[in-house]
Amino acid sequence: MEIPDQSDAISWKQFYEDYAKGLRLKNSKGERSELFIIPGNHDITNAIGFYRPMKPKTDATSMAKIYNLMLRPSIPLTASSYNYRKDKINYSKNIGGIHFMFITLWPDSSERIWMEKDLRNVSSKMPVILFTHDQPESEAKHFTNPHKLHGINADDKFENLLAEVYKDSTRAATDGGNTTIEQQGWVRFLKKHPNIKAYFHGNDNYNEFYVYKGPDDNIALNTFRVDSPMKGKYSSLDETKLSFQLITIDAKKKIMTVRECLWNTDPFQPDKSLQWGTSKTVSLAIN
C-alpha cells in the first residue's frame, strides 16, 4: 500500500474475483476444486505497517479474509479484529496419502512450534510437502528487528514479518543479509522430520527447480520456486515467460512431477494453447 498504490481491501477484492470466483477447475467428483491460500510478505506488511509511508497506514483485509477462508473460525475475523501476532494462517490437509502443510511466510522458530504439533499426528512414513512464501534461506529483513524496542523503522529496515528475532548481524537489514543461524535451526528441524520431501515457495519470483542444501551443505530438500503473474523477476520484463506450475503426484508410487506451464507465449493470441517449459520428477518415498 505504499503511496500511491491502492489499499489492501481493493487488492483483495480483485484477487478474490479472479482466483476464487473465477475458478473453473473441477475435482474428480465434478465439484469446484479446493483453493488453498497462504499470505505473502505484502499481505502481512499491509496488516502490521511498514517503514515507508502507506495509505492507509495499515489494512489487514487480506489477512483476515485468508484466515477466514482457510481456518473457518466460528466467529469470522475482520480487518479491525485481526491480530497478526496470534492469528497465523497455518493449516494442513491429507490428500492421497500425502500430508500438505501451508504456513505463514517461512518456517521460523515460531512457525516450527505449530509444525511440530501438526506433525505429531502424521506417520513418519507419510510424505510431507510444504507450501510457504519465502525461499528456504528467507531474507534477513523479514525477521524481527534485533535492535532496542524491536521496532519497524527506516533506520534498521527490518519488517518484523517473522516472530523470530534476527541473530546473524546487529546491522540494518539491508547490510546484514546473512541468515545462516536462522537456517541452521530450520535444517535441524528438517533432519528431525525426514519425511518432509518437498518445499514450494514464491518470493523473488521466477520458475526454478532446485535442491536446497542448507548453509552447511548437510541437507537435500527438493525445492520449487514459482513465478508471479504480476511481478516476476523475468516475466515482468517479458510477458511471454509468464508461468505457473502443474504438480502431478502418483500417490501409489510416491512420485511427483512438477511442470512449468507457459501460458502467454504469444500475447497477441490469447487463445493459444499453453506450452510446457522445464519439468522435474522426484521421489516422495520415505527411505
Express each pLDDT in 97-135 by its tens digit: 999 999 999 999 999 999 999 999 999 999 999 999 999
**pLDDT of res. 174:** 66
124-151 b/e (C-beta count within 10 Å ≥ 16 → b) = eebbbbbbbbbbbbbbbbbbbbbbeeee
DSSP 189: H
Give mean pLDDT, residues 217-238.
93
Identify whether the C-beta of residue 168 lies closer than 8 Å to the C-beta of residue 140.
Answer: yes
Model confidence at 172: pLDDT above 70? no
H helices within the chain, ranges in order?
A: 8-15, 41-48, 61-71, 109-119, 180-192
Region class of 203: left (phi > 0), else alpha (psi between -120 and 50), else beta: left
- What confidence score (pLDDT) does residue 157 get? 92
Residue-level pLDDT at 179 = 94
User: In sequence order, what are the residues at sequence separation of 6 or more whose Cβ sits closer than 8 angstroms to the Cβ of residue 111?
Assistant: 88, 90, 103, 104, 105, 162, 163
Give all strands (DSSP E) within 103-155, no chain letters.
128-131
Average pLDDT value for residue range 72-80: 97
* Average model confidence (pLDDT) across the chain: 94
Domain boundaries, the chain: 1-87
Beta carbons of 101 and 124 less than 8 angstroms apart: no
Give pLDDT, residue 177.
79
